[in-house]
Chain A
C-alpha cells in the first residue's frame, strides 16, 4: 500500500448493520459450541449406557470448571497461578468441614460458603501477589497450596490429615441440586427408566446432571466475561502491563478482580466435587492437581475459556477412562498418566503454541481468541479490510 492510502478517510461503520453482521459472523461457530454442545452433553447419558464412563464425564465437568476458572486469571491476565489447587481444596474442605461440624447447613449454603471463603483466600493471596511476576508469582502461589497441605496436618483431628474426610453430604441430598438432578435425569432418561435404576446408578446420574448444570452456568458466565469488553482489558494486561497502564487500565483492580473471580469459581467447583465424591483428601490441595489444571489449560489453549474447557474433557476422559482401557501399564502405574500428559503437552505446544482449540475454531471460520472476537469481527463487517 502507498503512503497516501493511509491518509484516506476511513470508512466508519454504519450503526445498525454492524451488530447484525457481527452476530452472524460469531454465530457460525459459537452456536455449535454454546448451544449444541450443552445439549449434546445433556442428552449424552440417554445414548451412553455406561455409568462408569458417565462418572468420568461428571468428574470432567468438574475439571472443566477447574481449568476455566484458572484461565480467567492466568490465561487472561498472564498471572500464572501454579497453586490453583489451593482454591479448589479450600472450597472442598470448607464444604466437607461444614458437613462434618454443621450438618444443619444445607448443601447449597455450604457451596456458597465454600465459594466465599475461596474468594477471601483469593484476596488474601491476590493482594500480596499483585507485585509479583513470572517465576516469583509461580513460587508464591505454589507455596500457598503447600502451606494449606501443612495446615491439614496441623489440624489433623478436624481435617483428617492424610486420610481426609469422608461422609460429605452428597449431591443428592441438596435441596436444589438433588431435585434438579432427579428432574433432569427423568427428563433425559424418562421417569420410568430413572425410577428403575439402582440407588448408586441414580446417584451417578444426578451427579452428572448437577455438575453439568453448574459447569454450563460457570463456563457460560466466564465466556461472556472473557469474550466481552472486560475480557479485552484483562488480555491487555497479559500483553503488556506498562502499556495497559498507559492506556488507563486500573491494573490493581482488574488483576485482583480476576484473582478473586478465579478463586471463587475454583472454590465452588471444589465444593461441588466434595459433594459428588463424598470425600475430600489431600489430592484436592496437591501440586499434582495444580499442574494438571495447567496442563489441561495449555493443552486446550489458555486465554480462551472454551479451550481449557474442552481440554478438560480430553484429558480427564483419557486419564480416567480410555488410558486404562488402552494399556494395563496405566492401570498398574497410574503415575504414568501425568507424565504422559506432560509429554503430550510438550508435543502439542511445539506444534501449536496456542493450544489445540483456538486455532481449530479459527479454521472453522469462527473466532478462537476473545480478542479477535472483540476486535477483528466488527471491522470486517464495517467494510475495512486489511
Chain B
C-alpha cells in the first residue's frame, strides 16, 4: 500500500497533514502517537471509512479512494475497530461467516469460518453468542472477522486497549502467528512496550504529521518522538 500525501481536514483543523509512507508486502508496522496525533483519522482514511481531503491511498497501484467501503475490503484491506463491533446477537461462528458469504467463497462456509476462528484461537467459542465473550475474545473475534475478508493488509486499531496484561500476551501470540502466516499488518497502539515486540517498523505521528519512520529502536530514540510522545523521557523498549 502506498500512502501519498494524505491530508484530512475537519473545518479549520488539520487532523492528518501530508502523510506519506509505503507499506511493503509482509511488513508489520506500528503506528504510534499521542491522543489527537491523527492516528485514527489516518487509519480511517486508509480503510475507506473516511475520505482524505487530499492525497491518495493506493493498493497495487490502484487508488482506493473512489471505492465504497465494501470494495476497499474486497480489494484486500481489512480493519478492526478499537471499540469492538461484533454482531452481538449472532453466534461467534456466524460473525465470521458473514465476510466469507459476501466474498462468495467456494466450498463449505462454516468449515472455513471455523478454520479462521482456529487461527485466532477462538474455535472453542464458535457456538457462543458473541455478546457472551470476554473483552479479549471480542478482540480476537474482530480479528477473525477481518481475516475472513481475505486481506492482504490487516489494520488493527488499538487491539490491546482494555485488555489485561495476560490477555495482551495471548493476543500478541495470535498477532505473531498472523505475521508468520504472511499477513501484512498495520497496528495502531498506545501500549508501546507490547507493540514493539510485534513490529519491525514504527511510524510516529504528532499533530497530524509523521515525525519519525523506521526501525523501532531508532524511532523510540528519535528526539522528536521522545519529546512529542513520551513527554521528554527516553523510552527503553526492552
Contacts and interface: CB of A to CB of B under 8 A. Distances in A.
B101 A239 contact: no
A376 interface: yes
Contact of B87 (A18, A230, A243, A385): A243
A161 B94 CA distance: 49
Contact of B111 (A12, A230, A372, A375): A12
Contact of B109 (A229, A236, A242): A229
Contacts of A256: none
Interface in B46-79: 47, 49, 68-71, 73-74, 78-79
B91 A376 contact: yes
Contact of B91 (A9, A251, A372): A372
B215 interface: no
A11 B114 CA distance: 9
A77 interface: no
B88 interface: yes
A229 B117 CA distance: 18
A252 B101 CA distance: 16
- Where chain A touches its partner, the secondary structure class is helix
A interface, size bucket:
35 or more
A196 interface: no
Nearest to A19: B108
Contacts of A18: 108, 110-111
Interface in A340-383: 369, 371-372, 374-376, 378-380, 382
B85 A246 contact: yes
A371 B90 contact: yes
Given A246-B85, A250-B70, A6 B90 contact: no
Contacts of A247: 73, 98-99, 102, 145-146, 148-149
Contacts of A232: 90, 94, 97-98, 101
A244 B98 contact: yes
B200 interface: no
B102 A6 contact: no
Given A12-B111, A386-B127, 10 more contacts: A10-B121, A10-B126, A232-B101, A239-B89, A240-B88, A246-B145, A251-B70, A371-B87, A371-B91, A384-B114
